[in-house]
Amino acid sequence: MKLIVTGGAGFIGSNLILFLHENYPDVEILNLDKLTYASDINYLAPLKQSGRYHFKKLDLVDRVAVQKTVKTWKPDGVFHLAAESHVDNSIQGPEPFILSNVVGTFNILEECRQFWNSAESDPDSPKRFLHVSTDEVYGTLGDEGSFTETTPYAPNSPYSASKAGSDMIVRSYFHTFGLNTVITNCSNNYGPHQHDEKLIPTVIRKALKKEEIPVYGSGENVRDWLYVKDHCSALMTVFQNGKAGGHYNIGGENEWKNIDLVRSICDILNREVGEGPEDDYQNLITFVKDRPGHDFRYSVDIQKIKDELGWAPSENFMEKLAETVRWYIERYS
Ligand code: NAD
């Protein structure tokens, strides 16, 4: 089966390509990535010699290039992950988010629709378009409750608004054109290959440099955390067995206040490195002015994917967090 993975040089995309390549010998993957600052193509160096992995540098905003690539590669399915993904950057400058996340999604979706409706396309091909999105489209929660797949969208940042917009376009392609789409909304991922700017790498990087570890507000904001490989297995489960036009939440059932997560990372660093000020990296924690419009709590109800598709997170959080911290210690040393 010939797949396109967009955004495959980013955090989740590179983990997904390695996961698919290792576990599904019948898949051949074309990675389409613009190679923005957030990407690192070297994560895929282990696949350089593989005849089942190919890379093309491409900006999804370039419709002509997208069209040419889809027609030439003739995909059976798409895992669409490419996006501008950092909320803080979307506050500083929203335009790239609208271009890559909304226009980019439209371009790859529309070119797939045209190709899959053409005589060039194999009638037996699954022609499935999996759109990877975030729980942030649902907005924010108080202390109680969780987002389900029927929670109305209420995005609060330009990032989540651009993702919500792209979800709606994908949804419309199922309802209007009968395209074999499926949408996933996942909570925060952690693991190797995440860009330095994100919370967990920032904590580790700053701590190792003995710099202040910035925590927004009073650190009370709550996020649900899922190991990236668990996300990858959920994506393949949805790709293979999700209902056409379906919409699935993915999460770790693993909520943490930011401050408690940061403290746990410091504890792991104390054990693994042990050179924090007065023997404790927690002494570097510094509360900084909150992000504008900072959502208080995200929590995803994953009953639907459990009941319909039999997927559940399988990794142990503390073990995988420690493994993740060790990976970044090596990267930053
Ligand atoms: P990332 O920023 O690490 O990687 C994104 C990749 O997309 C980069 O390699 C970048 O070069 C590429 N890209 C950006 N714009 C492009 C364009 N116009 N054309 C082609 N490639 C482009 O992001 P990530 O954390 O790996 O997230 C991947 C997807 O998963 C995103 O759609 C994001 O919204 C979603 N998601 C992420 C998380 C998370 O916790 N990281 C959680 C839920 C959903």
Name the residue ranges covered by the structural domains of the chain.
2-189+226-253
**3-state class of 310 per DSSP?**
coil
Phi, psi of 250 (to 5 degrees): -130, 135
Give the model's pLDDT for residue 315.
Answer: 97
Show the tokens assigned to 217. 């507000």
Ligand 1 and 189: CB distance under 6 A: yes
Ligand 1 and 7: CB distance under 6 A: yes
Name the β-bridge partners of 182. Answer: 130, 246
Q: Among the atoms of ligand 1, which is closest to the Cα of residue 186?
A: 43
Q: Which residues does 19 contact at the CB level (< 8 Å), separation at least 6?
A: 229, 232, 233, 236
Question: Under a CB-based contact definition with an 8 Å cutoff, are residues 156 and 145 in contact?
Answer: no
Q: Distance from the CA of 85 to the center of ligand 1, in angstroms?
A: 5
Q: Which residues does 25 contact at the CB level (< 8 Å), separation at least 6?
A: 52
Name the β-bridge partners of 183. Answer: 131, 247
Q: Which residue has the tokens 């990267």?
A: 331
**3-state class of 159 per DSSP?**
helix
Q: Distance from the CA of 81 to the center of ligand 1, in angstroms?
A: 5
Q: Tell me whether strands 222-227 and 255-257 are parallel, antiparallel or unpaired.
A: antiparallel
Q: Among the atoms of ligand 1, which is closest to the Cα of residue 12?
A: 26
Question: Under a CB-based contact definition with an 8 Å cutoff, are residues 321 and 189 in contact?
Answer: no
Question: Under a CB-based contact definition with an 8 Å cutoff, are residues 30 and 4 in contact?
Answer: yes
Ligand 1 and 13: CB distance under 6 A: yes
Q: Among the atoms of ligand 1, which is closest to the Cα of residue 190?
A: 40
Based on DSSP, count helices (H) and strands (E) in the chain, helices before strands. 11, 12
Question: 250: number of CA atoms within 13 Å, CB side?
Answer: 32
Ligand 1 and 134: CB distance under 6 A: yes
Name the β-bridge partners of 226. Answer: 189
Q: Distance from the CA of 82 to the center of ligand 1, in angstroms?
A: 5
Q: Distance from the CA of 274 to the center of ligand 1, in angstroms?
A: 33
Ligand 1 and 11: CB distance under 6 A: yes
- Residue nearest ligand 1's atom 15 by CA: 83
Give the separation between CA 88 and CA 100, rounded to whole angstroms.
Answer: 16
**CATH superfamily, with its number, for domain 2-189+226-253:** NAD(P)-binding Rossmann-like Domain (3.40.50.720)
Tens place of pLDDT per residue across the chain (333 aa):
999 999 999 999 999 999 999 999 999 999 999 999 999 999 999 999 999 999 999 999 999 999 999 999 999 999 999 999 999 999 999 999 999 999 999 999 999 999 999 999 999 999 999 999 999 999 999 999 999 999 999 999 999 999 999 999 999 999 999 999 999 999 999 999 999 999 999 999 999 999 999 999 999 999 999 999 999 999 999 999 999 999 999 999 999 999 999 999 999 999 999 999 999 999 999 999 998 989 999 999 999 999 999 999 999 999 999 999 999 999 998
Give the model's pLDDT for residue 162.
Answer: 98
Ligand 1 and 199: CB distance under 6 A: no
Give the model's pLDDT for residue 172.
Answer: 98
* Alpha helix segments (H runs only) across 154-310: 158-177, 199-208, 228-241, 258-272, 303-309
Give the separation between CA 139 and CA 7, rounded to whole angstroms.
Answer: 24
Give the model's pLDDT for residue 293.
Answer: 86
Ligand 1 and 100: CB distance under 6 A: yes
- Residue nearest ligand 1's atom 29 by CA: 81
Amino acid at 288: V
Give the model's pLDDT for residue 302.
Answer: 98
Q: Tell me whether strands 222-227 and 188-190 are parallel, antiparallel or unpaired.
A: parallel
Helix, strand, coil % in the chain, rounded to nearest 5 = 45, 20, 35
**Verdict on whether the full-model pTM lies above 0.95:** yes
Q: Among the atoms of ligand 1, which is closest to the Cα of residue 99?
A: 18
- Residue nearest ligand 1's atom 42 by CA: 188
Overall size of the chain counted in residues: 333
Q: Which residues does 323 contact at the CB level (< 8 Å), separation at least 6?
A: none
CA neighbor of 11 nearest in space, from 309, 261, 327, 313: 327
Which of the residues are catalytic?
A: 135-136, 159
Q: Which residues does 216 contact at the CB level (< 8 Å), separation at least 6?
A: 258, 287, 288, 289, 290, 291, 294
b/e burial code for range 120-133 (CB count within 10 A of at least 16 → b): ebeeeeebbbbbbb
Choose the residue to mutate in 17, 19, 36, 66 for probing ligand 1, maximizing ligand atoms within 8 Å of C-beta.
36
